[in-house]
Amino acid sequence: MTEELGAMIRRVRQARGISLRQMAGRIGIHFSHLSKVENGHDSIGRESLLRLAGELDLDEDLLLASAGMQAQPFRVLGDVAAGAPIDALEDVETFDLNRTFDPRDHFLLRVNGESMIEDGIHDGDLAIIRRADRARDGETVVALVDQQEATLKHYSRCGDTVRLSPANQQMQDLIFPAEQVQVIGIFAGLIRTARHDR
């Protein structure tokens, strides 16, 4: 626990009019331990820190990040209009990609090609894929064909046949015997940057 974070916790606690002993009791630790935390001489467990965030009405993600318990989340400052102007800065929230898309269940793939452009998925984008070995009709999947070629397409199955459909009217559906197609993930999100480094 850093001295700076401990001092911030002490400032907020005092501003809320909560004594050291009261706060320690509320979060279930000894007051001498909390004193050491506030002075930067000791660390605090994740669950106790989350309880502390709740008691002090602090942003859990930012507090955990400041304690080195997770990556610093991005801050979402509001909405921006792509049409008529609006007030750009509204409610501030945080966005932690790892918390939204658990890296144990998700992976990223760089999109190569224009077959999904009508779904807003462009060449060079990073597709966030949730690991899965089966899909429902209409879902966008990453499918492995003949254990060799991976493709991002709309999935549908009819009997022993699988159809992989692009979101681009200039391209044709791909149709394969079901045994040749293995679903390895479901499209869950998209990351786009202004510059795509290859």
Mean pLDDT of 64-80: 64
Predicted pLDDT at 196: 47
Mean pLDDT of 38-43: 87
Predicted pLDDT at 89: 46
The residue ranking higher by pLDDT, 171 or 100, is 171
For 143-178, write each residue's pLDDT tens digit: 988 888 889 999 999 999 999 999 999 999 999 999
Which single residue is written with the structure tokens 């692009």?
166
Predicted pLDDT at 96: 66
> Is 60 exceeded by the pLDDT of residue 90?
no
Where do the domains of the chain lie, and which CATH numbers do they carry?
A: 3-66 (1.10.260.40), 106-191 (2.10.109.10)
Predicted pLDDT at 18: 92
CA pair distance 183, 85, nearest whole angstrom: 42
Q: Supply the pTM of this predicted model.
A: 0.56
Predicted pLDDT at 175: 94
The residue ranking higher by pLDDT, 30 or 77, is 30
Least confident window among 73-82, 107-116, 138-147, 167-176: 73-82
Catalytic residues, by residue number, are 115, 153
The pLDDT-based confidence of 67 (bands split at 50, 70, 90) is confident
